[in-house]
Amino acid sequence: MSHSYGQWCPIAKSTEILGEKWTLLIIRELLMGSTRFSELQRGLGAISPTLLTRRLATLEQYDLVYKRRIQGGRGHEYIPTSSCKQLQPILLALGSWGMEWSKAFMSDADYDVELLMLYLQRSVVTENLPGGKTVVLFQFTDFPEQPKWWITADGENVDVCTTDPGLDVDVFVKTRVRAMADAWLGRTSYKAAKASGAMEIIGPVALTRNISHWLSDCIFASLPNAEEILAGS
């Protein structure tokens, strides 16, 4: 145990387990389906491999994660246990609380384009796309280091790449990272962002009339507030 409050209070004991930096975000990734070390790294971004290894070991110690060798492969995968899964309504409530109360404290530096693209990749509803391969090109005007990002959806496979896949683009979206994130979070609509000039969307009407049909909004956009989530859990 890295720290102890020396109190029997269950909040204190829970915080001793969950209060370390990155721990709740690791649990977020586990509950969203990441099981490989590389998948966790991708969702967490700035965490070092050493620190991630240490945090996973702590979660395993407290029976929040089951570490097992990958069948027929190299390395390990990390499976959330029942006690870890019971944290889901708490994380949903925390996220809903953040949607309501933390937005006033957000800065442009908080909007990570790599995390945004990972979330957009996870949000593609492939069955709502027309048959065949669909290619969406995002161009971020405020990220000159890597302005263009492609999402390709082919059947159930959805990939993100930063190099031109050499395929015809079906939908072109030109915007700022924050504007795209706010639309996905449900803080504004794609229609409103386009009308205000914050977003340019080009493509066939079947794909651009209702982007949320094939690119689902953030789960917190449609959830009740934190109090209601916990009351119903």
Cβ proximity of 64 and 131 under 8 Å: no
Model pLDDT for residues 62-79, shown as the tens digit of each residue = 999 999 998 877 889 999
Q: What is the rounded CA–CA span in Å between residue 11 and residue 8?
A: 9
230 has pLDDT over 60: no
2 has pLDDT over 60: no
The confidence score (pLDDT) of residue 97 equals 87
Angle, in degrees to the nearest 10, between helices 23-31 and 10-18: 80
From the list 178, 102, 165, the residue with the least C-alpha distance to 133 is 165
* Residues in the chain, total: 233
Model pLDDT for residues 152-164, shown as the tens digit of each residue = 999 889 999 999 9
The confidence score (pLDDT) of residue 232 equals 62
Strands 133-140 and 171-175: parallel
Model pLDDT for residues 29-57, shown as the tens digit of each residue = 999 889 999 999 998 988 999 999 999 99
From the list 94, 100, 132, the residue with the least C-alpha distance to 18 is 94
Cβ proximity of 200 and 194 under 8 Å: yes
Structure tokens at 204: 């066939």
Tell me the CB-side half-sphere exposure of residue 150, using CA atoms within 13 A.
16
DSSP 144-201: TTS-EEEEEEETTEEEEESS--S---SEEEEE-HHHHHHHHHTSS-HHHHHHHTSEEE
Contacts 24+ apart (CB under 8 A), 59-67: 59/23, 59/26, 59/27, 59/84, 62/17, 64/17, 64/27, 65/30
Q: What is the rounded CA–CA span in Å between residue 120 and residue 96?
A: 19
Model confidence, pTM: 0.81
From the list 114, 98, 117, the residue with the least C-alpha distance to 221 is 98
Model pLDDT for residues 183-205, shown as the tens digit of each residue = 998 888 999 999 999 999 999 99
Contacts 24+ apart (CB under 8 A), 2-8: 2/58
Say which amino acid occupies 36.
R
% pLDDT > 90, the chain: 68
226 has pLDDT over 80: no
